[in-house]
Amino acid sequence: MAAIPACSLCSPLPLSPRPRRAPIVPRRLTALANTLEAERGVEFETGDSFFRRESAVGRDLGVLSAALHRRSLPPGGGLRVLDAMCGCGVRSLRYLAQAGAAFVWANDASEGCRPLILSNLSGHPRVSPQGDRTWVVTHLDANRVLAENYLRKEFFDLVDVDCFGSDSSFMRLAIASIRKGGLLYVTSTDGYSSGGHRPHCSLASYGAYVRPMPFSNEVGLRMLIGGALREAAALGYHISPLFSFYSYHGPVFRVMLQVDRGQLHEKSQYGFISYCHCCGNSQTFSWEELGQISCACRKGEISKSVVVSGPLWTGPLHDVTHVTDMLQLATEWGWACTNRNEVDLEKLLNQMIEEGDPRLPPGYIKLDEIASRGKMNSPPLSTLINTLQEEGFVVSRSHIAPNAIKTNCPIAECIQFARRLRCSTSNRR
């Protein structure tokens, strides 16, 4: 990995894989017996730790990606995972039991969670038949764990950081701790920043000044990817998103990134997105085009109706090949044709495959906006999609907004097609 001055990470203090244990409180053990959960056949306890059943889909996606990455590793290597903020340890357990990880480092800053995590992981052998440790539990600040592993040159194939809010302080250390070609699974739950309501917060956390836009939840994913891209570039690495997942509970933005060597390309998909409140048109702009941002409806004139967010990731949110492999693996495991908290995993992955078309621009268009701007009732979503495809446009549903489409057809033309559909329906009556 790229060399980073030790002083910029932390002092090289020894990190014991068996830190001093806090006294076990009997009351916590009593609580464990009443909180038994199960995900995909794996049982665990949540105690009084922070736990969301709704996040099970995000854990499913992480396990599928981890299992695929393990298959790509050289023989005898084994998948090494760091779960930097493990909570009750469910992700660590699933990486061991389902993704086939050879070693998982489960860390959570709260030492009070130790009995709970140990209880959940105790069903998996702590030592392999070859005598190697398969898991370890620590209770340290995530940045310290990342930094000290980096200083010892003990790298991981997957680093999972399921943080709260817009905390991105770990990003550079997490990237530095990953083996070449490894994975970084990052999280944001800051819906205010992605909605453009805290632009200075998004600027501080992810280096992006975000303004209010109607597709703010997609902006949240692009903001997170862009922040990671910026940190990777500073280390001489580049990242590419394998999949991006939004869930309304929280809200939660989760992105799986692949980290590899390479400088930020001058034609990289890291730029700016504009939205015109006057006509609804959205565009992307490179750094070189910053002085040329305008909207066609304003005939090149500067207008307050045009807002700009960035820099953000402007490329595809998903790698089609990787998500297709995830769907195939989910089918093999019997996960595809199942609903998890009203989310159909097969439907979700198919939507991601469609969204991953590189011809699709950032953003999505809600049918409500088409109806409002066109002053009419919008046609059925499937009917509009079929019409746009027949006209030669690229179009897909959005996994983020169920009543929206992603398309390279400008919104003005979408309104025209919608109006024709409504007129033809009225004439048939």
pLDDT in tens, 264-301: 776 789 999 999 999 999 999 999 998 889 898 887 77
Q: Distance from CA of residue 192 to its chain's centroid?
A: 17
pLDDT digits (tens, 9 = 90+) for 137-154: 999 999 999 999 999 999
Distance CA 244, CA 231 (A): 18
Amino acid 223: pLDDT: 98
The stretch 394-416 carries a mean pLDDT of 97
- Parent domain of 370: 364-427
Least trusted range by pLDDT, from 25-29, 125-129, 199-203, 408-412: 25-29
Q: How confident is the model at residue 337 (pLDDT cuts 50, 70, 90)?
A: confident
Residue 352 lies in a domain: no
**The domain that contains 153 carries what CATH number?**
3.40.50.150
Amino acid 382: pLDDT: 96
Q: Which residues contact 194 (CB under 8 A, 6 or more apart)?
A: 188, 202, 210, 216, 217, 219, 220, 223, 251, 253
Residue 28 lies in a domain: no
pLDDT digits (tens, 9 = 90+) for 182-228: 999 999 999 999 999 999 999 999 999 999 999 999 999 999 999 99
> Does residue 263 sit in the same domain as residue 197?
yes
pLDDT digits (tens, 9 = 90+) for 84-117: 999 999 999 999 999 999 999 999 999 999 999 9
Q: Can you point out the beta strands (E) in 194-251?
A: 237-247
> Does residue 235 sit in the same domain as residue 179?
yes
Q: Which residues contact 235 (CB under 8 A, 6 or more apart)?
A: 1, 2, 4, 172, 175, 176
For residue 255, give Cα distances in angstroms to 131, 242, 340, 343: 34, 8, 19, 18
How many residues comprise the chain?
429
> Does residue 321 sit in the same domain as residue 387?
no
Least trusted range by pLDDT, from 3-7, 226-230, 392-396: 3-7
Residue 375 lies in a domain: yes
Give the single-character DSSP code of 99: S
The stretch 243-257 carries a mean pLDDT of 96
Average pLDDT, the chain: 90
More confident site: 418 or 164: 418
**The domain that contains 384 carries what CATH number?**
3.30.56.70
Amino acid 21: pLDDT: 38
Percent helix, percent strand, percent coil in the chain, to nearest 5: 40, 20, 40
More confident site: 304 or 315: 315
Task: Write down which residue in 281, 316, 333 finishes a domain.
Answer: 333
pLDDT digits (tens, 9 = 90+) for 348-361: 999 999 999 999 99
**Amino acid of residue 311:** P
> Does residue 279 sit in the same domain as residue 399?
no
Amino acid 80: pLDDT: 98
Both tokens assigned to 305: 């109706």
Looking at the structure of the chain, the number of domains it has is: 2
Amino acid 291: pLDDT: 87
Distance CA 89, CA 122 (A): 11
Amino acid 25: pLDDT: 38
